[in-house]
Structure 1
Amino acid sequence: MKRKVLFICNHNAGRSQMAQGLLNHYSGDKYEAFSAGLNPTESVNPHTIEVLKEIGIDISGKTPLHVSEYRDVKFDEIVIACDYDPDNHELPATERITEKKFPDPYLFSGSDEDILKSFREVRDEIMEWTDKEFTGDNEMNNKNSDNGNANNNIYKSNFPDDNECRPVTVTVFVSGDPSGPPLRCPDTGRSLSEVIKDTDIIMKKQGFVIRYEERPESENTTESLLLIGGRPIEDLVPLPDPSKYCGMACADCGGKPAGTTCSRIYEYIPESVLRLAVKKAADSMD
């Protein structure tokens, strides 16, 4: 019997539709995937349809659904790909809930081609995760096996030593004011250094070690306050559009005042986007 999996995101127009299409396409013999939204839109984002069609998956007939549509269905697993408040949202019955956040396409900005490129990157990240989560030999699957603890130890022992990994440095330029608040990811509230520590564990599987450093703004020779592998994060991933969260007048310029750096544009980078930027910086070194 196929295992039922429900993917949930905010609008059911991007991430959850991608995950449903990918799992049904590649593992439809073992899983039956569904998707829903906490606040669904009227239609699926056309970029979602396009990037799936590029790899042979047609979801053009799909319509966003509210999670309440599945209130009478029992799922083996529910995957929540967005911010979620259990006090405000009632989920269907399930044996297991997994929270796995992916970059929110709604926040992408730039030209149509830039946005489409970002949708492809989210698609590929979801594809990689669903493959490892549901079909691959990974930590999550090992945790669910009969010998979970033993397999987890084997899995972790396969990490290369730091001296065998290639370094990727994450540099944050900070002001001289020690009382200034650290940059935090808004989806979890965790500081940048905490997120980088977790990302280091993930990237070790790919042979990279992540180094985090804070340097004074006076040493900055770029227009970016956040460098990954020596590259501005803006060159690696589209940053969220400040006009959607920033109350400052400078948001009218797209978040980057001419000739200046502004920490405001880094205040709404979710963990998933930050991890994606680190991965892209590492991939560019291959």
Structure 2
Amino acid sequence: MAEKPSVLFVCVHNAGRSQMAAGWLTHLAAGRIVVRSAGSAPADQVNPVAIEAMREVGIDITSEQPKVLTVDAVEASDAVITMGCGDACPVFPGKRYEDWKLDDPAGQGIEMVRQVRDEIRTRVEKLIAELIS
């Protein structure tokens, strides 16, 4: 049995986009993919509006904490998905990198965060299809 593919989601604060993406991937992949998330400058807590938006679709990310992006996390991951952290993400040869252009939900209302949440779901579904053939 081959090792499960692993994905690392990275945004600046690891409080909104990357947490929602990790929540979606954990939920939709149902154990078939190892999921990590981190931030180049982590916030103190996950964005409460992101938590609320995910709760609306039955996904609980209340127990998550923003984590610092480490070289080890990047090295341990097959795919690294960045969300607006620019050059803060270390690059290793042989990894799959994607940059998802997503609006930052920090300080935004629930309507806008729902749009980001739904766009992330679409991208995560595509990612799962590509990783699990």
TM-score range normalised by the length of the shorter chain? 0.7 to 0.9
Per-residue deviation, residues 28-85 of structure 1 (Å, max 9, x unmatched): 3321111100111010000111111111111111100010274475211000011411
Deviation at residue 16 of structure 1 after TM alignment: 0.2
Structure 1 unmatched ranges of 5 or more: 109-114, 136-140, 146-286
Instruction: Pick from 73, 78, 81 the counterpart of residue 79 of structure 1.
Output: 81
Hey, what does 2:99 align to over in structure 1?
A: 99
Tell me which amino acid in the other structure corresponds to 2:20.
Answer: M
Secondary structure of the corresponding residue to residue 75 of structure 1: coil
Hey, what does 1:32 align to over in structure 2?
A: 34
Tell me which amino acid in the other structure corresponds to 1:118.
Answer: M
For the structure 1 residues 39 and 72, does the alpha-carbon distance in structure 2 shift closer, same or farther, using more than 3 Å as the test?
Answer: closer
Return the structure number with greater relative CO, CA threshold 8 A, min gap 6. Answer: 2
Secondary structure of the corresponding residue to residue 61 of structure 2: coil
Secondary structure of the corresponding residue to residue 33 of structure 1: strand
**Moved runs in structure 1, 4+ residues, more than 6 A?**
none
Deviation at residue 107 of structure 1 after TM alignment: 5.9
Deviation at residue 92 of structure 1 after TM alignment: 6.8
Q: 1:198-277 residue pairs with structure 2 within 5 A? A: none
Structure showing greater Rg: 1
Q: 1:18-29 residue pairs with structure 2 within 5 A? A: 18-29=20-31
Structure 2 unmatched ranges of 5 or more: none
Secondary structure of the corresponding residue to residue 67 of structure 1: coil
Tell me which amino acid in the other structure corresponds to 1:95.
Answer: K
Hey, what does 2:90 align to over in structure 1?
A: 90
Instruction: Pick from 104, 119, 128 the counterpart of residue 113 of structure 2.
Output: 119
Per-residue deviation, residues 198-235 of structure 1 (Å, max 9, x unmatched): xxxxxxxxxxxxxxxxxxxxxxxxxxxxxxxxxxxxxx
- Superposed CA RMSD in Å reads 2.2
- Distance in 2 (CA, whole Å) between partners of 1:131 and 1:61 is 23
Residues paired across the two proteins, number:
129
Secondary structure of the corresponding residue to residue 86 of structure 2: coil
TM normalised by structure 1 equals 0.42
Report percent identity of matched pairs.
36
Per-residue deviation, residues 233-279 of structure 1 (Å, max 9, x unmatched): xxxxxxxxxxxxxxxxxxxxxxxxxxxxxxxxxxxxxxxxxxxxxxx
Deviation at residue 96 of structure 1 after TM alignment: 1.1
